C-alpha cells in the first residue's frame, strides 16, 4: 500500500470519527472514553454543586429517561420476577390472585424433560455460531484490511444480512433449505449427493438454524474486528514485511496478539446476543421437530406465547435464568472494557 | 476475489429476488430456475393487493418509535454528556446492561403490564415496547457525541445569556444532526424489523405490522412463495435505503452501539 492511500484512509477515519463522535476503538455501546477518566474524581465542594442550577437542569433533562427506565424496564422486569415466583395463568392474570410458590417454577423447569435438550442445544448453537462467525469475520476483516479498488462498497455489502429484518432472512433460508424445492438440496443433488431434510429432521434442524444465524452474525464480527484492525499501526506490518515475514507470520505475531482485547469483546458480545436469539429459530423451525432445535430463549418464548395455552410462570423462570447468564457476561464485558481503557 | 466473497455472502438475498419473480408453476421445478427469465410480477401484485395496510402499520410504528426514542434519548444524552450530574456512571452502566436483557423476557414483562393496562394489540403499546430496543443505544450514542462538543462553545452561549434549555435547543441539537440521524435510522429499522414484540403484544390486533404479516403467510403452508418473497423484498426496502443513504453511519453505529436483538 502506498503512502498516499494510507494517508487517505487515515483522513477518512478521522472524518468519520469527527462526524459521529465515535473514534475507531470499537467500544460497544460507547462507554466513557478517551479524554475523561472513567470514574469521576470526587467533585470538589459537593455541597455547593448540589444547589447549582445546572445540576437541577441536568436532572430535568434526565427525568424523561429515568421515568422511562422505571416504567419500561424496571417495571416489566419486576413483573417478570413476580411471575416466576407465582403460579400464573391467564385467569390469575386478570383476577390478580396468583398463588405464591417461591422457587417451585425454577424446580419444575430444571426437572422438565425439555431442560436437558435445551441446555445442550443452547451450548451447541451459541458456541457453533460464535466460533464460525468470529473466524469468518476475522478472515474477512484481514482480507479487507488491504484497500483495493471497490473495497469500501464491497465491505458495505457485507452489512446486508445484518440489516435485513429477521423474518426476511428466516423465510428466505427456510425456502432455500426446503426439502423438496430448496435450492440447497437441488445443488447437492446436482453434484451427486442425497438431499437432506434440513428443517424437518431432528438431526439437522439445529445445524440449519445455526448456519442461518452464522450468516446473520458475520457482518457484526467483520465490522468490529475491522475497526480493531484499523488501530494497528501500518508501520508494524511494513517493518515485518521488510524483515521478510510471511502473511501468516504477520498475522500470528502482529494481528492476533494486538487484536486480542477487541476479540475478547467481540466474542463476549457475540455470546450475549446469541443467547437471546429467538426470532430466527422460531421462524425457521419453532424449536422443532420435537425439542431438537429448542434453546433456552425459544423454550421460554414457546411456553409463554408459542402454544394456545400460555404458561407464563415457567417461561418467566427460564427467562430469569437467561438474564442471570447475560448479567454475568455483562459484568465481564464491562471489566474488559475498563481494562482496555486503562491500558 | 472480493466480488466472489460478496456473491457467496449475498446469495440468499439474490435468491429471495429470484424467487419473488418466479412464476408459481415454476417454483417447484427441478432443477430450480437460477435466473428469473420469463418471470412474473404476480408476487408483487399480491403485495400491492394484500400487504399495503401492514406496510402502513409498520411505517407508523417505525416513525412513532423514532419520535419516542429521540424525545427520551436526546435530552438524556446532553445531560449525561455535558451536565454530568452525580450518578451518571451508574446510569451508563444500567443502560449497557439494559441492552443485554433478552427480548423474550421484556416481551413477557410487557405482556403482563399491558394485559392489565389494556394496551395489548394497540399500535401505541407496540411503539413503546419497540422503543426499548433503541433508547439505551440512543442515549449512549448521544452521550458520546455531546461529550465531544467543545466546552468553549457552550460557555460562549452561557455568557450570551442562554440557559441550559436554550443551549440545548440552539447549539447542541443542531450540532448533533448526524447522531440524531444515526439514532433515528436505527430506531426505525429495529422497529420495522421487530418480530418478537409484534408476535407477543399484537397477536390478535387489527393492525398487524409487515413482519407478522409475512409470518402468517408462511404459516399458512402456502404454495405462493413468490408472493412471500416479494413481500420480503418490499420489507427489505428500509434496510436497502439505510445502506445507500447512511453507509458510514451504520459502521459507526455498530461499533458504537453493537446491538441487535
B123-145 average pLDDT score: 90
B88, B140, B232 member nearest A30 (Cβ): B140
DSSP code of residue B83:
I
Is the ipTM of this structure higher than 0.90? no
- State whether B256 and A162 contact (CB < 8 Å): no
Q: Tell me: the pLDDT tens digits for A26-60?
A: 333 333 333 333 333 344 444 444 557 777 888 88
Interface test with A, best of B7, B12, B215 (most A CBs within 10 A): B12
Q: Please indicate, yes or no, if residue A5 is contained in any of the structural domains.
A: no
Give a yes or no: residue A166 inside a domain: yes
Chain-chain contact of A304 with B254 (C-beta, under 8 angstroms) = no
A34 torsion bin: left (phi>0), alpha (psi -120 to 50), beta (else): left
My answer on whether A71 and A188 are in the same domain is: no
Q: Is residue A238 part of a domain?
A: yes
Does one domain contain both A175 and A319?
yes
Low-confidence ranges of chain A (pLDDT < 70): 1-51, 90, 93-94, 96, 340-343
Residue A156 in domain: yes
Give A 70-89 residues with CB within 8 A of chain B: 72-73, 75-80, 82-83
Min CA distance, A14 vs chain B (Å)? 12
Query: What pLDDT, on a 0 to 100 scale, did the predictor assign at position A38?
Result: 35
Residues A73 and A175 in one domain: no
Collect all residues of chain A within an 8 Å Cβ-Cβ radius of residue B106. Answer: 73, 76-77
The three cell numbers locating residue B191: 422497529
In this prediction, residue B30 carries a pLDDT of 67
pLDDT (average), residues B210-221? 83
Q: Give the model's confidence band at B255: pLDDT under 50 very low, under 70 low, under 90 confident, else very high.
A: low
* CB spacing of A76 vs B86 below 8 angstroms: no
Output the pLDDT for position A341.
67
- Is residue A3 domain-resident? no
Mean model confidence pLDDT for chain B: 84
Q: Do the chains contact at B243 and A163, CB–CB below 8 Å?
A: yes
What is the per-residue pLDDT for A13? 39
Pair A274, A192 in one domain: yes
CB neighbour list of residue A215: distance below 8 Å, 6 or more residues apart: A161, A169, A173, B9, B12
- Domain for residue A45, yes or no? no
Residue A239 belongs to some domain of the structure: yes
Cα–Cα distance, B199 to B211 (Å, whole number): 9
A139: closest chain B residue by CA: B5
B67 contacts on A by Cβ (under 8 Å): none
H or E element at residue A86: strand A86-87
pLDDT, position B63: 96
Same domain, A69 and A217: no
B252 alpha-carbon distance from chain centroid: 16
> What total number of domains does chain A contain?
2
Any idea what DSSP says for residue A98? P
- The three-class DSSP label of residue B77 is helix
Fold of B59-209+237-257: MetI-like fold (1.10.3720)
In a domain, A22, yes or no: no
pLDDT level of residue B197 (50, 70, 90 thresholds)? very high
Say whether residue A342 is in contact with chain B using an 8 A CB cutoff: no
Distance from CA of A178 to the nearest CA of B (A): 11
Q: Which of A36, A67, A99 delimits the end of a domain?
A: A99
Q: What is the torsional sign of CA B114, B115, B118, B121?
A: positive
Which among B178, B75, B70 is positioned nearest to B131, based on CA atoms? B70
A69 with A149, same domain? Answer: no
Alpha helices in chain A (DSSP H): 3-20, 46-51, 53-69, 75-85, 90-95, 104-110, 115-145, 151-157, 160-163, 166-176, 183-190, 205-230, 234-242, 247-250, 256-258, 260-276, 279-284, 296-301, 312-342
A256 touching chain B per CB within 8 A: no
CB-nearest partner of B258 from A29, A83, A160: A29
Q: Phi/psi at A100 (nearest 5 deg)?
A: -80, 125
Residues A252 and A215 placed together within one structural domain of the fold: yes
CATH number at residue A230: 1.10.3720.10
Q: What is the pLDDT of residue A84?
A: 87
Residue B181 sits at the chain A interface (C-beta within 8 Å) = no
Q: Which domain holds residue A280?
A: 103-342
User: Stretch B177-194: mean pLDDT, rounded?
Assistant: 89
Higher pLDDT, B143 or B68: B68
Which of A67, A99, A131 marks a domain boundary?
A99
Kindly report, residue by residue over B71-88, the tens digit of the pLDDT: 999 999 999 888 878 888
| Interface mutation target, options A16, A23, A49, A58, chain B, most CBs of B under 10 Å | A58
Are residue A67 and residue A198 in the same domain, yes or no? no
pLDDT in tens, B216-241: 888 776 678 888 889 889 999 888 88
Cβ pair B6:A161 closer than 8 A: no
Amino acid at each position: 500500500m502506498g503512502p498516499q492511500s494510507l494517508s487517505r484512509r487515515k483522513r477518512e477515519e478521522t472524518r468519520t470519527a469527527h462526524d459521529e463522535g465515535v473514534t475507531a476503538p470499537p467500544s460497544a455501546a460507547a462507554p466513557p472514553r478517551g479524554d475523561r477518566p472513567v470514574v469521576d474524581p470526587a467533585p470538589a465542594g459537593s455541597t455547593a454543586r448540589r444547589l447549582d442550577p445546572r445540576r437541577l437542569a441536568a436532572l430535568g433533562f434526565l427525568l424523561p429517561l429515568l421515568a422511562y427506565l422505571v416504567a419500561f424496564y424496571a417495571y416489566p422486569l419486576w413483573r417478570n420476577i413476580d411471575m416466576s415466583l407465582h403460579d400464573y395463568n391467564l385467569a390469575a392474570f386478570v383476577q390478580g390472585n396468583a398463588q405464591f410458590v417461591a422457587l417451585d417454577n425454577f424446580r419444575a423447569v430444571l426437572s422438565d424433560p425439555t431442560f436437558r435438550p435445551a441446555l445442550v442445544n443452547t451450548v451447541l448453537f451459541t458456541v457453533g455460531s460464535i466460533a464460525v462467525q468470529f473466524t469468518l469475520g476475522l478472515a474477512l476483516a484481514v482480507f479487507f484490511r488491504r484497500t483495493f479498488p471497490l473495497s469500501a462498497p464491497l465491505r458495505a455489502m457485507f452489512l446486508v444480512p445484518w440489516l435485513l429484518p429477521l423474518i426476511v432472512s428466516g423465510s428466505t433460508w427456510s425456502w432455500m433449505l426446503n426439502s423438496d424445492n430448496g435450492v440447497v438440496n437441488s445443488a447437492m443433488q446436482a453434484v451427486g449427493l442425497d438431499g437432506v431434510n434440513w428443517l424437518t429432521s431432528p438431526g439437522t434442524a439445529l445445524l440449519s438454524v445455526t448456519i442461518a444465524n452464522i450468516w446473520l452474525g458475520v457482518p457484526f464480527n467483520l465490522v468490529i474486528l475491522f475497526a480493531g484492525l484499523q488501530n494497528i499501526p501500518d508501520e508494524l506490518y511494513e517493518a515485518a514485511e521488510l524483515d521478510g515475514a510471511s502473511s501468516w507470520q504477520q498475522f500470528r505475531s502482529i494481528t492476533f496478539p494486538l487484536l486480542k482485547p477487541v476479540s475478547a469483546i467481540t466474542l463476549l458480545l457475540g455470546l450475549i446476543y446469541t443467547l437471546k436469539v429467538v426470532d430466527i429459530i422460531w421462524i425457521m423451525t419453532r424449536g422443532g421437530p420435537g425439542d431438537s432445535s429448542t434453546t433456552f430463549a425459544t423454550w421460554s418464548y414457546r411456553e409463554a406465547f408459542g402454544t394456545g395455552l400460555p404458561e407464563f410462570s415457567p417461561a418467566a423462570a427460564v427467562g430469569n435464568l437467561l438474564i442471570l447468564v447475560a448479567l454475568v457476561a455483562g459484568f465481564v464485558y464491562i471489566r474488559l472494557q475498563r481494562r482496555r481503557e486503562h491500558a | 476475489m472480493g466480488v466472489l466473497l460478496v456473491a457467496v455472502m449475498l446469495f440468499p438475498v439474490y435468491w429471495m429476488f429470484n424467487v419473488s419473480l418466479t412464476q408459481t408453476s415454476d417454483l417447484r421445478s427441478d432443477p430450480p430456475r437460477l435466473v428469473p427469465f420469463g418471470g412474473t410480477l404476480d408476487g408483487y401484485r399480491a403485495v400491492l393487493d394484500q400487504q399495503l395496510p401492514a406496510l402502513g402499520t409498520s411505517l407508523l410504528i417505525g416513525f412513532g418509535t423514532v419520535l419516542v426514542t429521540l424525545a427520551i434519548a436526546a435530552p438524556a444524552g446532553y445531560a449525561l454528556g455535558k451536565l454530568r450530574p452525580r450518578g451518571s456512571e451508574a446510569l451508563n452502566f444500567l443502560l449497557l446492561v439494559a441492552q443485554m436483557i433478552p427480548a423474550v423476557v421484556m416481551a413477557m414483562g410487557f405482556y403482563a403490564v399491558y394485559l392489565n393496562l389494556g394496551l395489548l394489540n394497540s399500535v401505541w403499546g407496540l411503539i413503546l415496547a419497540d422503543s426499548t430496543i433503541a433508547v439505551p443505544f440512543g442515549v449512549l450514542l448521544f452521550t458520546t457525541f455531546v461529550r465531544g462538543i467543545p466546552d468553549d462553545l457552550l460557555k460562549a452561549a452561557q455568557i450570551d445569556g442562554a440557559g441550559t434549555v436554550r443551549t440545548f435547543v440552539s447549539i447542541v441539537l443542531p450540532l448533533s444532526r448526524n447522531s440524531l440521524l444515526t439514532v433515528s435510522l436505527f430506531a426505525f429499522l429495529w422497529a420495522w424489523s421487530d418480530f418478537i414484540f409484534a408476535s407477543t403484544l399484537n397477536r390478535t390486533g387489527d393492525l398487524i405490522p409487515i413482519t407478522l404479516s409475512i409470518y402468517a403467510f408462511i404459516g399458512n403452508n402456502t404454495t405462493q412463495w413468490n408472493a412471500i418473497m416479494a413481500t420480503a423484498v418490499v420489507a427489505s426496502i428500509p434496510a436497502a435505503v439505510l445502506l445507500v443513504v447512511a453507509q458510514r453511519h451504520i459502521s459507526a453505529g455498530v461499533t458504537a452501539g453493537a446491538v441487535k436483538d
